[in-house]
Structure 1
Amino acid sequence: MRVALKIAYIGSSYRGSQVQPGVSTIEGKIFEALQSLEIIEDPSSARFVSSGRTDTGVHAMGQVVAFDTDKPKLAIPRVINSKLPGDIWAWSRAEVDSDFHPRRYAINRTYRYITPSMDADISKLRAACSILEGSHDFANFCFRDTGRSTIRRIEKIDVRLAGNLLRIDITANSFLWKMIRKIVTVLLLVGSGARDLDWLENMLDPASYEEGIKPAKPYGLILTNVNYGDSVQWVDDGYSMRRSRERIEEYLVYHQVLAEVMDQFLPKEPKAE
């Protein structure tokens, strides 16, 4: 039987999602869990595939993996989570067709990037988003891979203020390497007034204009959803979702306190006499 899982993880401690020798990765931890439970013998024979890669420090709420197993009753989130570290967990499961491929079958993907607003002009940001939506050549927005098409279709970009933070949600049929983080850099440049909309239009015409853009930091990026429409019938694991919420609340308290501790180290303005 072929089983698909939705996986969430906090990527701060990992060298990306894809397994690599000698370093800690998300897939490496998942392989260890599945093999220790004898759900799979090895990733190759189980035809293990994920919906895509995330870079070092990038997080996910809706990464999807699929594999073959002859022990489907064990291949459930709460069992698998017992062998995973606390910052990686499965939370939904589906039995899928034998040819299901999480990457090729995806209709679209959505990522969220969270960043300080830096007094960006929200109207300029939304105007830039309108330009980026649709099919374009994003060669100036990625690390180029010779021979691979750089044309992608962005279905929607939504930018919202949340206190002093910006939440940027991007949905596309697929993404190029570093594409989202470079889009964030471009949006912030336009939103701050450092660049204008004419420059953005030029960036989308790489045949006549080329400029290197530094990607935004990875820690603000989250893969929120991989969409398969009605072709996959997910069954959420309520117990796993409750346990993950408890862990996240503990993690949140820790970082709230740590942020306050770090604030104590900042130089203080002298009091006026």
Structure 2
Amino acid sequence: MENNAQTKKNREMNWDNYSKRHIALKFAYLGWNYRGLAIQQDNQNTVEQHILWALKKVKLVPEDADHQSINFQRSGRTDIGVSAFSQVLSFHSRSNVKTGKGIISVGHKISNDSKEIDFPKVLNRALPSDIRVLSWTPVDTDFSARFSTVSRQYRYFFRKENKNIIKMKEAGCLFLGLHDFRNFCKMDAENVSNFERTILEFDILPYQSQNQLDIGGDSKYTDFNDIYYFKITGTAFLWHQIRCMVGVLFLIGEGLEELEIITTLLDIQKVPRKPLYDMVDGSPLVLYECNYESLEWQAISKQTLNEFDKLWLVSSLHSSVIYSMYNGIKDFPISDPEGISSKSKHVPLLKRKTEKAYDERNKLKGNK
């Protein structure tokens, strides 16, 4: 036992021998299998937790590192089931070089000809296959993945079905500019008091897939021409803001609400309390892009591209299996041709019950 303990002690890293560098990582993940991005006290199955484990496993940060000790920051927080194509983290990492942007301290044993660590390569070996580091870049020591972000773009994928794309696009453009979005979010009155946010870009575009599977049949679920996505860019977003915006736009697209409901809900003098309505599912939502000034990302590796190709192949095979099941049962006798249940009658948003206003929530908090 003593020999094992001594061996482990000898293997422990002397972090003074290594340089420390402030870097940014660009990474992608499929959020469907995780409980959100941010580390949580009561659940370890989050994207950030897996990344922190990987950072420690490959010894880019000390074993006892936490967010504060390595200045760990993210660009945007995503919730349960939400994915990201271009999420960004910044933190203090072990480095093999002694000069260059982001160097915080120089290690005792670093030579002038040392080559920098291939951060994506070493981390991807330690990460689950649906979390991939795409690229990295050295950044100035005052860079923050969160506060240095100029804009963030989200995309929400959906099937057109009976939705009026033109009406939804016209309604969505009413979000452009600076508005108070308290009626289009899940209010976090304890941590947020300013609900004004700026929308820089809004559009609805068709998703054109070059990889559509030719599996035949007449199922509406196999038609990629019916797939569209919302493209929404802003400086920052509130909790569940995109999902609430899309939820109301769907009501407009289905003819259940008029375009003017957007302007009305954005007017907090007219509507100080958010009507009760359902936000859309989070799984088709993607944090697509985080934009910064003057960042030069390293090129993505061919290996990383191949790994995404494997993910797509597995997903395609799963789709084929499910579709074959559908094809096998679609000709069975149907006991309820109209479906299990009909849709309930739509209640206009302005005639619904409402949530408590911000001031009312704060008053309740003060009385506790």
TM more than 0.5? yes
Work out the CA distance in 1 between the residues paired with 2:305 and 2:260.
48
Measured on the aligned residues, the alpha-carbon RMSD in Å equals: 1.8
Size of the aligned set, in residue pairs, is 270
| Secondary structure of the structure 2 residue equivalent to 1:166 | strand
Question: How far apart are residue 149 of structure 1 and its match?
Answer: 0.7
Matched with 1:157 is 202
| Secondary structure of the structure 2 residue equivalent to 1:67 | strand
Q: Output one character per residue of 1:39-72: Cα deviation in whole Å (capped at 9) or x when no partner.
A: 0111332111111211011000100001102325
Matched with 2:124 is 81
Matched with 1:166 is 228
Work out the CA distance in 2 between the residues paired with 1:90 and 1:252.
20
| Secondary structure of the structure 1 residue equivalent to 2:283 | helix
Work out the CA distance in 2 between the residues paired with 1:185 and 1:262.
31
Of the structure 1 ranges 38-47 and 187-196, higher mean CA displacement relative to structure 2 is found in 38-47
**The one of 276, 282, 290 aligned to 1:218:** 282
Work out the CA distance in 1 between the residues paired with 2:283 and 2:229.
13
Matched with 1:59 is 83
Matched with 1:7 is 27
Of the structure 1 ranges 171-180 and 131-140, higher mean CA displacement relative to structure 2 is found in 131-140
Work out the CA distance in 2 between the residues paired with 1:133 and 1:145.
23
TM-score, normalised to structure 1, is 0.93
Matched with 1:183 is 245
Question: How far apart are residue 135 of structure 1 and its match?
Answer: 1.0
Work out the CA distance in 2 between the residues paired with 1:20 and 1:258.
35
Work out the CA distance in 2 between the residues paired with 1:75 and 1:18.
25
Work out the CA distance in 1 between the residues paired with 2:202 and 2:311.
27
**The one of 40, 57, 75 aligned to 1:36:** 57
**The one of 184, 191, 194 aligned to 1:141:** 184
Question: How far apart are residue 187 of structure 1 and its match?
Answer: 1.0
Partner amino acid, structure 2, of 1:219: S
Matched with 2:5 is none
| Secondary structure of the structure 1 residue equivalent to 2:269 | coil
Question: How far apart are residue 266 of structure 1 and its match?
Answer: 5.5
Work out the CA distance in 2 between the residues paired with 1:97 and 1:248.
34
Identify, as 1 or 2, the structure richer in strand: 1
Matched with 2:264 is 202
Question: How far apart are residue 82 of structure 1 and its match?
Answer: 0.3
Q: 1:206 to 1:237 in 2, by over 3 A?
A: same
TM-score, normalised to structure 2, is 0.70
Assess if the C-alpha contact under 8 Å between 1:140 and 1:213 holds in 2: no
**The one of 231, 238, 245 aligned to 2:301:** 238
Q: 1:197 to 1:96 in 2, by over 3 A?
A: same
Q: Structure 1 segments of 4 or more deviating over 4 A?
A: 264-267
Question: How far apart are residue 248 of structure 1 and its match?
Answer: 2.4
Work out the CA distance in 1 between the residues paired with 2:89 and 2:259.
39
Matched with 1:248 is 311
Q: Output one character per residue of 1:175-224: Cα deviation in whole Å (capped at 9) or x when no partner.
A: 00000011111111111110001222111112321313321101100011
Matched with 1:26 is 47
Structure 2, unpaired ranges of 5+: 1-20, 97-115, 208-224, 335-368
Work out the CA distance in 2 between the residues paired with 1:85 and 1:191.
38
| Secondary structure of the structure 1 residue equivalent to 2:26 | strand
| Secondary structure of the structure 2 residue equivalent to 1:245 | helix
Work out the CA distance in 1 between the residues paired with 2:48 and 2:289.
18
| Secondary structure of the structure 1 residue equivalent to 2:202 | strand
Matched with 2:356 is none
Question: How far apart are residue 75 of structure 1 and its match?
Answer: 5.5
| Secondary structure of the structure 2 residue equivalent to 1:169 | strand
**The one of 320, 337, 341 aligned to 1:257:** 320
Question: How far apart are residue 270 of structure 1 and its match?
Answer: 5.0
Q: 1:264 to 1:74 in 2, by over 3 A?
A: same
Partner amino acid, structure 1, of 2:238: L
